[in-house]
Amino acid sequence: MYQFVQAPFLYSDLEEGKFQSILLAEKQLIVLKKKEQLFAFAATCPHAGAHFCDAWIDASDRLVCPLHKYRFDLSNGRNTSGEGYKLKIYPIKIEENTIFIGIW
Protein backbone atom coordinates (compact mmCIF):
# COMPACT_ATOMS: atom_id res chain seq x y z
CA MET A 1 0.00 0.00 0.00
CA TYR A 2 1.37 3.40 -0.87
CA GLN A 3 1.22 6.67 0.99
CA PHE A 4 0.92 10.04 -0.74
CA VAL A 5 3.85 12.37 -0.08
CA GLN A 6 3.87 16.02 -1.08
CA ALA A 7 6.32 16.88 -3.86
CA PRO A 8 8.79 19.73 -3.22
CA PHE A 9 7.41 21.80 -6.12
CA LEU A 10 4.06 22.90 -7.47
CA TYR A 11 2.33 21.81 -10.65
CA SER A 12 2.75 25.31 -12.06
CA ASP A 13 6.54 25.09 -11.47
CA LEU A 14 6.93 22.23 -13.95
CA GLU A 15 7.90 22.84 -17.54
CA GLU A 16 6.28 20.77 -20.26
CA GLY A 17 8.57 17.91 -21.34
CA LYS A 18 11.30 18.55 -18.75
CA PHE A 19 12.49 15.59 -16.65
CA GLN A 20 12.41 16.70 -13.01
CA SER A 21 14.57 14.45 -10.84
CA ILE A 22 13.64 14.35 -7.14
CA LEU A 23 14.39 12.39 -4.00
CA LEU A 24 11.12 11.78 -2.16
CA ALA A 25 10.79 9.57 0.93
CA GLU A 26 14.17 8.00 0.03
CA LYS A 27 13.03 7.15 -3.52
CA GLN A 28 14.76 8.65 -6.52
CA LEU A 29 12.05 9.60 -9.03
CA ILE A 30 11.49 11.49 -12.22
CA VAL A 31 8.42 13.68 -12.61
CA LEU A 32 7.41 14.65 -16.11
CA LYS A 33 4.67 16.95 -17.35
CA LYS A 34 3.59 15.82 -20.79
CA LYS A 35 0.58 17.29 -22.58
CA GLU A 36 -0.61 18.78 -19.25
CA GLN A 37 -0.55 15.31 -17.65
CA LEU A 38 1.89 14.35 -14.88
CA PHE A 39 3.86 11.13 -14.63
CA ALA A 40 6.15 9.91 -11.85
CA PHE A 41 8.45 6.97 -12.38
CA ALA A 42 11.67 5.41 -11.09
CA ALA A 43 14.72 7.48 -11.98
CA THR A 44 16.69 4.46 -13.17
CA CYS A 45 15.97 1.93 -15.87
CA PRO A 46 14.83 -1.56 -14.78
CA HIS A 47 17.15 -3.12 -17.38
CA ALA A 48 20.67 -2.06 -16.36
CA GLY A 49 20.14 0.96 -14.16
CA ALA A 50 20.75 3.86 -16.56
CA HIS A 51 19.54 7.16 -15.17
CA PHE A 52 16.59 8.61 -17.05
CA CYS A 53 17.83 12.20 -16.77
CA ASP A 54 19.10 11.81 -20.36
CA ALA A 55 16.06 9.87 -21.60
CA TRP A 56 13.54 11.27 -24.05
CA ILE A 57 9.96 10.81 -25.22
CA ASP A 58 9.50 9.36 -28.70
CA ALA A 59 6.84 10.25 -31.30
CA SER A 60 4.51 7.61 -29.77
CA ASP A 61 4.80 9.19 -26.28
CA ARG A 62 6.98 6.39 -24.93
CA LEU A 63 9.92 6.91 -22.59
CA VAL A 64 13.18 5.88 -24.31
CA CYS A 65 16.09 4.79 -22.12
CA PRO A 66 19.31 6.55 -23.18
CA LEU A 67 21.53 3.47 -22.76
CA HIS A 68 19.99 0.62 -24.82
CA LYS A 69 16.91 2.46 -26.17
CA TYR A 70 14.32 0.21 -24.54
CA ARG A 71 10.92 1.92 -24.55
CA PHE A 72 8.33 2.21 -21.79
CA ASP A 73 4.70 3.22 -21.60
CA LEU A 74 4.46 5.87 -18.87
CA SER A 75 0.83 5.08 -18.08
CA ASN A 76 1.58 1.54 -16.86
CA GLY A 77 5.36 0.97 -17.04
CA ARG A 78 5.06 -1.68 -19.75
CA ASN A 79 8.24 -2.28 -21.77
CA THR A 80 6.74 -1.68 -25.21
CA SER A 81 9.90 -2.63 -27.12
CA GLY A 82 9.38 -6.18 -25.86
CA GLU A 83 12.37 -7.04 -23.66
CA GLY A 84 10.15 -7.91 -20.69
CA TYR A 85 11.14 -5.28 -18.14
CA LYS A 86 8.68 -3.21 -16.12
CA LEU A 87 9.24 0.42 -15.22
CA LYS A 88 8.08 1.37 -11.73
CA ILE A 89 5.31 3.96 -12.02
CA TYR A 90 4.12 6.02 -9.04
CA PRO A 91 0.54 7.31 -8.71
CA ILE A 92 0.08 11.07 -8.67
CA LYS A 93 -2.71 13.29 -7.46
CA ILE A 94 -2.94 17.04 -7.77
CA GLU A 95 -4.91 19.12 -5.29
CA GLU A 96 -5.19 22.72 -6.38
CA ASN A 97 -1.57 23.30 -7.44
CA THR A 98 0.03 20.85 -5.02
CA ILE A 99 1.39 17.50 -6.20
CA PHE A 100 1.27 14.31 -4.14
CA ILE A 101 3.08 11.15 -5.19
CA GLY A 102 2.17 7.70 -3.91
CA ILE A 103 5.25 6.06 -2.37
CA TRP A 104 5.58 2.52 -1.03
Total binding residues toward ligand FES, as defined by CB under 6 A: 8
**Residue 86 in the binding site for ligand FES (CB under 6 A):** no
**Residue 74 in the binding site for ligand FES (CB under 6 A):** no
Distance CA 83, CA 71 (A): 9
**Residue 23 in the binding site for ligand FES (CB under 6 A):** no
**Residue 45 in the binding site for ligand FES (CB under 6 A):** yes
Distance CA 10, CA 56 (A): 22
Instruction: Tell me which of 29, 40, 42, 65 binds ligand FES, using CB under 6 A.
Output: 65
CB 44 within 8 A of CB 53: no
